[in-house]
Structures are given as structure tokens and as C-alpha cells.
Amino acid sequence: MLAAAVEKNAYDVALENFDIAADALGLETDVREMIKYPERILMVTLPVRMDNGHVRRFEGYRVQHSTVRGPAKGGIRYHPNVTLDEVKALATWMTWKCGVVNIPFGGGKGGVTCNPKDMTMTELEHLTRRYTSAILPMIGPKQDIPAPDVYTNPQTMAWIMDTYSMTKGYPVPGVVTGKPIALGGSLGRNEATGRGVFYTTLSACEHLHLPVKDARVVVQGFGNAGSIAANLLHGAGCRVIAASDSTGCVYNRAGLDMPKLMLHKEHTGRVSGFPGAEPITSKELLRTECEILIPAALENAIDEDNASGVKAKIIAEAANGPVTPEADRILESKRVFLIPDILCNAGGVTVSYFEWVQDEQHLFWESQDVYNRLERVMKTAFGEVLKIHKDHRVTMRTAANMLGVGRVAEAIKLRGLYP
């Protein structure tokens, strides 16, 4: 029984959150039917010749949840646990996320079920180019724009951009975002998600009158978003007292030295073994007393079994769907202030939008321009979500979903139904 609750389907969670927001908005049934479910779903079989000469088959997906407000936008993840339902859930959340930060994109997502850690660079390139060829009819700078996600990176995007461009006969840098700078990538894109988490966390501290200096921070998931958010909070005067990745967790009551921990992670590939820190379990990490908890790993990290042990004042969802609906209710009863994922981690898609704009205009911005624009977008979105939270007396998650769903609903009403 408990195992079934822990493993709750991510897509079911996405639909449940939609229904809560739609009920709060009083959305008509017709509008719900038009915006709740994905517009397009593509499942592909990917035969790839491996380094040993044998052909291995992989499965891939691309889901376009909505193109009502603009091209579909969303990352591609390579992970052994990728499923169609997970990709559908992530595409759905991307739609509302783009609505929350008010950028002219809809939601998309892609994934390949594989273990990139067991593959060579040559095999990953072959897989990526095969996957790109398979989803080619769906992607393009005006219809669907992929980006990096779990275990994909700028190099992956470079292969996708090259494969797409070769079929067109000319360079099309705007087909993906999160590219290397040399191929039309944007300055500031690599740290965009972490910066978005940082800006919204500062806004939450201001709202709660919580001093940033010496605020204790715990980070679950010391990847790109988690490490950059932690480092920026460290620079603002916070004490990052615990951090984890897939290899283990480290703790230091006086605070971990973020620049040194990031170097340790870069050199060793893990946070465990960091000098001056003691190991703790993943369960202990979530129970660590702190002001700010940043779940930056995968979905369903905080569930009904461990939510009661959380001792944070603020949860900043750097990951997608890290808190289950059951855990939401427990945390709400404990008066934990939650910054929902579709607001908190929207810095990545916001700077992806900036990159796409720069590619389309063939005119590129300085990094400080990117940071300033991102800060304005994130703080404006936080203020709009907070206002709905106060005015309607709903949770922050419901408020964020109401903002995102409401903007998509408005667009669909204005556009009407064709034919």
C-alpha cells in the first residue's frame, strides 16, 4: 500500500493539480477539454549501432502539450526511468510554467529511455542524431524547440542543431536552446535555472521577513540547478549546511564552503568525501532543521511518508514535481512556505526564451543584460503568484497553476476552435 503511494504516477499528479486550479478559476468544461491534454504525442524506436558493432534498440518520446500561446518548449532527458507518462507530465508542467512567467511558448518535453552513464560519447552522439531524425517532423524554431534536461547538455543540443540543420541545408540555431555559445547559445543560460531559484527564494525571504544572512540551506540534488542556487545563496550570506547527489549526502553545521564543494564535485563527480563534512543519509538530509530546503533532484522526493519530518520554513522546488499532492497537504498544515516548481525553476525556460530571441534576431546580449532581465521576470512572476495566493486564499502551488492555466485559457478563448 505504502509503496503504491510513494510511486504515484507523475502524470496523475499533473492532472490533479490542473483540476484544482481549473476548479478555483471556475473554468468551463469546453475550455478544460481543449487545454488539459497533450496536442501531440510521438513514440519512436531508435536502433543505434554501438561501439561493439551490435545494434541496440532504444525508445524515445516527444510530447507537445500545448502550442496555444506559441511554439512548444521543453527539454530532452536521457534516463533509464523515462516513461511516456513522465514526459507527458513534464510537458504539461512546461505549459503552465511558460504561462506563469508570461513568455510566448507552450509546453513540450522529450526523453529517451537509456542509461547515458554506461554509454560512450560516440554512442550518445549516434543515439542523439537518430532521435533527432525520428522527431524531425515535430521540431523547429517556430513549432517546437528542445533544450537540455536530465543527463543532456550543450553538446547534446549541438548534435541536434547540426542534424536538423543538415536536413535543411543551412544553419538553424533557433531549433534548440541551451547550445554552446559558439553555436548561438546565450550567455547566462547555464546558470539560469539556479539563478531563478535564487531570485524567487530571496523574494520568499522578503515576504516572510526572514533574514537571508545566516539562513540555513539544505540542497537535495547538487547538479546544475541545485549547486548554482546554493552557491548564489552562499554568496548572499546564507549557510549551506547540507547537500546531496546520487552518490551520498554531506553535512556541516557551520556551513559548507560552496566554491570548494563545487570544485570537489567537478573533480570527483560526487559530493561524498568532501573534506570537512560528515556523511548523513538521504532521510536525515530531508529532516535537517533549516530555513530553506531546495529539492533539486527528481520527482516525488518529498512524499506522505517523509513530509512530516521536514523542518524547513521555505521549500524552493528546483526540480520538477519533487513534492507529491499528499505531501503538499502535510506541508501546508505545518505552514511551510512552498515556492512551486513551475515558478521556482522557470529561470531555465525564461533564458531559453532569451536565447531563442537572440538567435532569431542574430543579435546577442551581454551576460548582465540576461541576469537583469531574468531577475525582473522572476520577481514579477513571484509577485503575481503571491497576489493570487493572498487574494484567493489558496496554496502557492494552486496560485501558480491558476496563473499559468488562466493565461492559456484566455488564449484559447480568444483563438477559438478551428474548424
Instruction: Please give the backbone phi and psi of residue 25, each rounded to the nearest 5 degrees, phi first.
Output: -85, -15
Among the candidates 149, 175, 201, a domain finishes at: 175
Q: Is residue 20 part of a domain?
A: no
Transcribe 132-191 into DSSP letters: HHHHTTT-BTTTEEEEE-TT--HHHHHHHHHHHHHHHTS--GGG-SS--GGGTPPTT-TT
In the structure, how many helices (H) and strands (E) does the chain have?
15, 12
- The tens digit of pLDDT for each residue in 111-162 reads 999 999 999 999 999 999 999 999 999 999 999 999 999 899 999 999 999 9
Do 129 and 208 reside in the same domain of the chain? Answer: no
CATH at residue 202: 3.40.50.720
Of 329, 333, 290, the C-alpha closest to 313 is 290
Q: pLDDT class for 2, splitting at 50, 70, 90?
A: very low
- The tens digit of pLDDT for each residue in 217-233 reads 999 999 989 999 999 99
Q: Is residue 403 part of a domain?
A: no
Do 215 and 318 reside in the same domain of the chain? Answer: yes
Please provide the average confidence, as pLDDT, over all residues in the chain.
Answer: 95
Calpha distance 179→168 (Å, rounded): 18
| pLDDT for res 3 | 42
Cβ atoms of 323 and 301 closer than 8 Å: yes
Coarse DSSP helix, strand, coil percentages of the chain, rounded to the nearest 5 percent: 50, 15, 35
Calpha distance 324→298 (Å, rounded): 12
Q: What is the pTM of this model?
A: 0.93
Calpha distance 101→43 (Å, rounded): 29
| Residues whose CB falls within 8 Å of the CB of residue 288, separated by 6 or more in sequence, listed in order | 218, 241, 242, 251, 280, 311
Q: Is residue 56 part of a domain?
A: yes
Do 339 and 197 reside in the same domain of the chain? Answer: yes
What letters, b where the CB count within 10 A reaches 16 and e where it falls short, cover 165-180? eeeeeeebbbbbbbbe
| pLDDT for res 352 | 97
Distances 29 to 19, 25, 26, 35 between C-alpha atoms, Å: 11, 12, 9, 10
Calpha distance 149→333 (Å, rounded): 33
109 noted as active-site residue: yes
Do 245 and 273 reside in the same domain of the chain? Answer: yes
Residue 342, pLDDT > 60, answer yes
Do 83 and 164 reside in the same domain of the chain? Answer: yes
Calpha distance 305→291 (Å, rounded): 21
- The tens digit of pLDDT for each residue in 194-214 reads 999 999 999 999 999 999 999
Number of domains in the chain: 2
| pLDDT for res 5 | 45
Cβ atoms of 145 and 174 closer than 8 Å: yes
Domain hosting residue 88, numbered range: 38-175
Q: Which of 88, 97, 109, 265 is catalytic?
A: 109
Of 27, 132, 44, 140, the C-alpha closest to 87 is 44
Cis ω for the linkage preceding 419 (within 30 of 0): yes
Calpha distance 88→73 (Å, rounded): 13
How far from the centroid of its chain's Cα atoms is residue 127's Cα? 23
Do 202 and 155 reside in the same domain of the chain? Answer: no
Do 329 and 255 reside in the same domain of the chain? Answer: yes
How far from the centroid of its chain's Cα atoms is residue 147's Cα? 11
